[in-house]
A = this chain, B = another copy of it.
């Protein structure tokens, strides 16, 4: 089975639940603004990971649907608020929520999705699922929300600061991106009543593919063709964004080259993109980024040894590779 078919199948399950969860929101403007991004497509990778992790440890997919919806609601809430903060006008090929309904309603739409996320996970039936597992799943999901806020704050604080260590950078992307993916796989394993070792392994699997997802993003920005990327090559460089490639190059560069890299990142123009890439190459930071992403995915796949062979396990293997292969 192809990754894209797996995602489609799980997406249709969670979409139904998301429709149900948001059906009661009022007034109309709040409902429409809350639903906009949920319905704008998106791969729905995170809810698929919740349900697959549940199945992989022997649980029932149905039991994990509400938690899956919760994780997608949290992801969407964070995108809506991030777009306001970053003044991003487009998302998934459509105008951002705040561009259509204005910032106040967009803030509220995010808050509503956030509240609805907790409502959804609290509705997880306790017939098959021990209530302490539901509470642990909830704690995991809540913990990742705090991480998302902290990750975004670190990211904002890093802006214009070229003195970020690799450790600090990894912590930022862990919190901003990987924590919710780790919460998806961990909460799925908890709802599926996996053993503590399985729960831990799936949490780590989620963390590793989440980190790989973000790092591969950095990598693809530099090595892709424009038609695959859907945006010009080197946009991160033009925007002066901190990436693993930049962090690594700055750490290893001579003071002269370091100065040049920083000056290119500060220019916010595409005239020196090629020179920046040349300097990244010189200090091995493109290969390093590639290696870290691939190494994380390999380690993630090995962690799946802890569960028995199943179609869910196979899908998780494919999804691990998918975070590397995807084009935008």
Q: Mark A77-111, 1 if CB is under 8 A from B, else 0.
A: 00001001110000000000000000111011011
Given contacts A27-B154, A150-B26, contact A122 B104 (CB under 8 A): no
Contacts of A111 in B (CB 8 A): 81, 110, 114, 145, 148-149
Chain B nearest Cβ from A145, distance in angstroms: 4
A146 at the interface (CB under 8 A from B): yes
How many chain copies does the complex carry?
2
A1 at the interface (CB under 8 A from B): no
Chain B nearest Cβ from A87, distance in angstroms: 9
Closest to A149 in B: B112
Chain B nearest Cβ from A79, distance in angstroms: 13
A152 at the interface (CB under 8 A from B): yes
Closest to A30 in B: B153
* Partner pick for A104 among B30, B84, B105, CB 8 A cutoff: B84
Q: Mark A44-84, 1 if CB is under 8 A from B, else 0.
A: 00000000000000000000000000000000000001001
- Contact B107–A156 (Cβ < 8 Å): no
Chain B nearest Cβ from A155, distance in angstroms: 10
A116 at the interface (CB under 8 A from B): yes
Which range contains the number of A residues in contact with the other chain? Answer: 35 or more
- Contact B29–A157 (Cβ < 8 Å): yes
Query: Which of A25, A29, A149, A157 lies at the interface centre, i.e. has the most chain B CB atoms within 10 A of its CB?
Result: A149
Task: List the one stretch of A136-144, A195-203, A266-274 in contact with chain B.
Answer: A136-144
Q: Mark A108-126, 1 if CB is under 8 A from B, else 0.
A: 1011101110110010000
Query: Which of A27, A29, A143, A154 lies at the interface centre, i.e. has the most chain B CB atoms within 10 A of its CB?
Result: A27
A303 at the interface (CB under 8 A from B): no
- Contact A122–B139 (Cβ < 8 Å): yes
- Contact B145–A122 (Cβ < 8 Å): no
A251 at the interface (CB under 8 A from B): no
- Contact A84–B107 (Cβ < 8 Å): yes
Contacts of A150 in B (CB 8 A): 25-27, 30, 112
* Partner pick for A153 among B27, B114, B118, B135, CB 8 A cutoff: B27
* Partner pick for A142 among B25, B119, B156, CB 8 A cutoff: B119
Within 8 A of B (CB), among A125-183: 131-132, 134-135, 138-139, 142-143, 145-146, 148-150, 152-154, 156-157
Closest to A158 in B: B27
Contacts of A105 in B (CB 8 A): 153, 156
- Contact B122–A142 (Cβ < 8 Å): yes
Given contacts A115-B142, A146-B116, contact A107 B85 (CB under 8 A): yes
- Contact A115–B27 (Cβ < 8 Å): no
Contacts of A132 in B (CB 8 A): 131
- Cα distance, A204 to B263, chains bound together (Å): 63
* Partner pick for A131 among B85, B86, B131, B149, CB 8 A cutoff: B131
Chain B nearest Cβ from A202, distance in angstroms: 21
Enumerate chain A interface residues (CB-CB to B < 8 A): 25-27, 29-30, 81, 84-86, 103-105, 107-108, 110-112, 114-116, 118-119, 122, 131-132, 134-135, 138-139, 142-143, 145-146, 148-150, 152-154, 156-157
